[in-house]
Every structure is written in structure tokens, then in C-alpha cells.
């Protein structure tokens, strides 16, 4: 499977149920990178616009670069009320953006799908001198819940999407090319009922599609986990946004 199309059938679920990023992480980017009404921000691998929307109205231009048509369409709809926002049909390795035109690049969960070498060269090409790169990744911090969910995913995994994640073993620091960068972690808590819980699990690339023969078994396994950890029909999940932030060095 082409990694660009992994999320085509999950785009609507992704927009509705994927975790957002800790507000403190967003504010740190705005403050440190000095995002202003004159800034151009490019969110690479923007998906459905979850991260890009935080810069709408704060930067002069917000470019949501996304190669998947289904996700790009949802992003365009989500950002439609902001004249400063534009969706771009491009990928990390070939954004189509002009040379040295961007003040800040943001990248979220999609970084695992990038080809590290070509993507880094593209970042250097499109960033202005002194431009910033912010990489954000969410992860759960409840060990018992995480272990229980891993068993469910391992049992019902149909496609080893980790094989397609060409950048999964590349440290985020690689993209800074030897320049200094900071790493900060911002905890947050999510409260999910059953619909939100199974919806968020179904957005992951390793979950079976709803039409798959194994989907019903996957849902039953997820339900057992939910019933074990939920209280009064709500599961409280502890998580964190990990933020890497720095200026890029040259090639």
C-alpha cells in the first residue's frame, strides 16, 4: 500500500476523534518562534488540519501541506473561514513551496511517514534564514492502558504499517542538522466515552478498517479494555505532547 493512502478511509474519523495538542505546546511555539501577523507557517503532513488551525488568525499565511486528497479536503473545510489559510497538494519531500518562503515549519504525527533525508533537505530549502522547525508528537502515559491496547492491536493487525513508516526509527533531532533545539513535554488529560474511545483507536494506521472481517473482533477487544479502565462510562487517559523546537542548520 502507498503510505499516502493509508488514512483515506479514516479521514473523517481522524478529524473527529484524534487528540489535539497540549495548549501549552502551541503557545510555546508561538512565543519562541515569534509568530506574528507577518509570519508564514507551513504545516507539513497537515492531515485534517488539527495543528494548522492553531496558527489561523495568528500568522499572515498558514499553508496546510497534505498529499492525501481525502484528508486535504477535510482540512480545507475546517480552515475555510480563515482567508490566511490555504491547503497545498504536496508532501514532505516535495512541498511545492517556493525557496526560503517560510518562517516556521510545523510537523506532527505524520513525521513517521517522511523519508528523513529528502524531507530535511526540503525543509532547509523552503525555510527562510533563521527559520524554525517545530515537531509535535502525542503519546499516552498510562502504562497499563497502553499495554492492554497493544495486545488488542497486535492480535488484530492486518497491515504492518510500521513497514511503511520509513522515518519511524529516525530521531526527531536529526532534522535540526546539528543545531541546538529544545525538547519539552506538556501533559494533558483526555476524557472519552465509548464512541470517542473506539473512534480514536480506529484512526490509527494499524487498526483494521470498519469493513474488514477482523473489525468486529477488534471492537470486542477494545470494549474489554474500555470496560476495564473506564469509570461511569468515561475513560480518563493521561497523555503528553512532546515538542521539539529549534532553528535549522544548512545541509
For residues 58 and 31, the answer to whether their CB atoms sit within 8 Å is no
Q: How do residues 85-106 score in pLDDT, each as one tens digit?
A: 999 999 999 999 999 999 999 9
The gap from C-alpha 249 to its chain's centroid, in whole angstroms, comes to 23
- What is the residue extent of each domain of the chain? 3-140+161-189+238-247
For residue 3, the model assigns a pLDDT of 74
49 CB contacts (<8 Å, ≥6 apart)? 15, 43, 64, 74, 75, 76, 78, 79, 87
Of the CA atoms within 13 Å of residue 209, those in its CB half-sphere come to 12
Give this prediction's pTM.
Answer: 0.93
CA distance 246 to 110: 18
Architecture of domain 3-140+161-189+238-247: 3-Layer(aba) Sandwich (3.40)
pLDDT-based confidence at residue 179 (cuts at 50, 70, 90): confident
Query: SS3 of 166, please?
Result: coil
- Distance, CA of 43 to CA of 46 (rounded, Å): 5
Amino acid at each position: 500500500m502507498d503510505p499516502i493512502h493509508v488514512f483515506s478511509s479514516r479521514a473523517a474519523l481522524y478529524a473527529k476523534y484524534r487528540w489535539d495538542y497540549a495548549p501549552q505546546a502551541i503557545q510555546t511555539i508561538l512565543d519562541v518562534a515569534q509568530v506574528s501577523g507577518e509570519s508564514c507557517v507551513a504545516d507539513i503532513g497537515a492531515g485534517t488540519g488539527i495543528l494548522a488551525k492553531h496558527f489561523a488568525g495568528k500568522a499572515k499565511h498558514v499553508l496546510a501541506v497534505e498529499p492525501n486528497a481525502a484528508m486535504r479536503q477535510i482540512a480545507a473545510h475546517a480552515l475555510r473561514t480563515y482567508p490566511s489559510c490555504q491547503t497545498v497538494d504536496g508532501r514532505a519531500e516535495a512541498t511545492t513551496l517556493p525557496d526560503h518562503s517560510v518562517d516556521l515549519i510545523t510537523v506532527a504525527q505524520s513525521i513517521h511517514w517522511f523519508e528523513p533525508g529528502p524531507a530535511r533537505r526540503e525543509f532547509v530549502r523552503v525555510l527562510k534564514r533563521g527559520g524554525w522547525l517545530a515537531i509535535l508528537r502525542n503519546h499516552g502515559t498510562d502504562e497499563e492502558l497502553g499495554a492492554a491496547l497493544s495486545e488488542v492491536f497486535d492480535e488484530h493487525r492486518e497491515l504492518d504499517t510500521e513497514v511503511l513508516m520509513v522515518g519511524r526509527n529516525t530521531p526527531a533531532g536529526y532534522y535540526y542538522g546539528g543545531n541546538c533545539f529544545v525538547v519539552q513535554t506538556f501533559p494533558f488529560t483526555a476524557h472519552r466515552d465509548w464512541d470517542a474511545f473506539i473512534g480514536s483507536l480506529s484512526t490509527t494506521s494499524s487498526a483494521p478498517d470498519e469493513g474488514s472481517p477482523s473489525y468486529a473482533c477488534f471492537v470486542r477487544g477494545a470494549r474489554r479494555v474500555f470496560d476495564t479502565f473506564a469509570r461511569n462510562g468515561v475513560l480518563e487517559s493521561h497523555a503528553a505532547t512532546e515538542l521539539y523546537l529549534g532553528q535549522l542548520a544548512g545541509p
